[in-house]
Amino acid sequence: MTIKIISWNVNGLRAIHKKGFLKWVLKENPDILCVQETKATEDQLPKTLRHVEGYHTYFCSAEKKGYSGVCVYTKIKPEKVDYGFGIKKFDDEGRTLVLDFGDFILLNIYFPNGKMSAERLLYKLEFYDALLDYANNLKNEGKNVVICGDLNTAHKEIDLARPKANEKISGFLPEERAWIDKFLSHGYIDTFRMFNNEPHQYTWWSYRTRARERNVGWRLDYFFVNEEFKDKIESSNILKDVVGSDHCPIGIDIKL
């Protein structure tokens, strides 16, 4: 059995709904779709977004209205769903859904952005460490882990168009990139780089200056798995031609 999982920061679920989101979902037909930056509580969404035929739906929203939020549409009913890491200051922002599918545990995460202030950068790095602890605990229990979402950091120079110009900007700071190195050293794999080591592979483009048209972008969206699970990954790709957000979707196929 092959499971197709797609992850997409939609930059507002209600906004992208007006741009043909559901038509795209039905055409792409993923087994599991992880959405980030929904910017809505479940009760703010139209019924057509809350109940998509053939899918179980799970929403995790921020306490602050119109902010953050993640959701998952899945044809496979999970054995268990957790909303967050169990740490209030992170869970209040509605950034994490954890779904246990038996063969693997899926974490759909909208990671914090550190550009607003020094305090938000610290919050971002603390969130990263909380994820590492959470994932390691699962791994130590013998679980396989699939982590996806908008990481809000480009890992290496190959992962953004203008590395030199951005090395003092949150999203490409040395301490953010060093955390990804640390994370990978704990036995996690960046699935995209298992299959593609080419430059100019981006998932986010600023709305300003026609950046997407010129492919001046950043690779901010990732699928990670634990090393023990990597042989189950058949493909990992960027769906760069899918529009509607400042991010494009990414996907993996898992062979079970």
Query: Which CATH number covers residue 190?
Result: 3.60.10.10
Considering its fold, how many domains does the chain have in total?
A: 1
Contact 190, 155 (CB under 8 A): yes
pLDDT of residue 11: 98
pLDDT given for residue 209 in this prediction: 87
Which pLDDT score, from 0 to 100, does residue 195 have?
Answer: 98
Non-local CB neighbours of 129 within 8 Å, separated by 6+ positions: 179
Measured distance CA(31)–CA(226) in Å, rounded: 21
Question: With contact defined as beta carbons under 8 Å apart, do 73 and 26 qualify?
Answer: no
Per-residue pLDDT of the chain (256 residues; tens, 9 = 90+): 999 999 999 999 999 999 999 999 999 999 999 999 999 999 999 999 999 999 999 999 999 999 999 999 999 999 999 999 999 999 999 999 999 999 999 999 999 999 889 999 999 999 999 999 999 999 999 999 999 999 999 999 999 999 999 999 999 999 999 999 999 999 999 999 999 999 999 999 999 889 999 999 999 999 999 999 999 999 999 999 999 999 999 999 999 9
The sign one gets for the Cα dihedral 175, 214, 147, 113 is positive
Has 150 been annotated as catalytic?
yes
Distance CA 180, CA 162 (A): 19
User: What per-residue confidence (pLDDT) applies to 238?
Assistant: 98
Amino acid identity of residue 188, one-letter, is Y
User: Of 31, 129, 133, 150, which residue is the catalytic one?
Assistant: 150
Host domain of residue 222: 2-255
The widest CA-to-CA distance across the chain, in whole angstroms, is 48
Give pLDDT, residue 162.
Answer: 97
Contact 171, 156 (CB under 8 A): no
| Residues 195, 253: Cα–Cα separation, whole Å | 12
Give the Cα separation of 44 and 65 in Å (integer). Answer: 10
Residue 156 one-letter amino acid: K
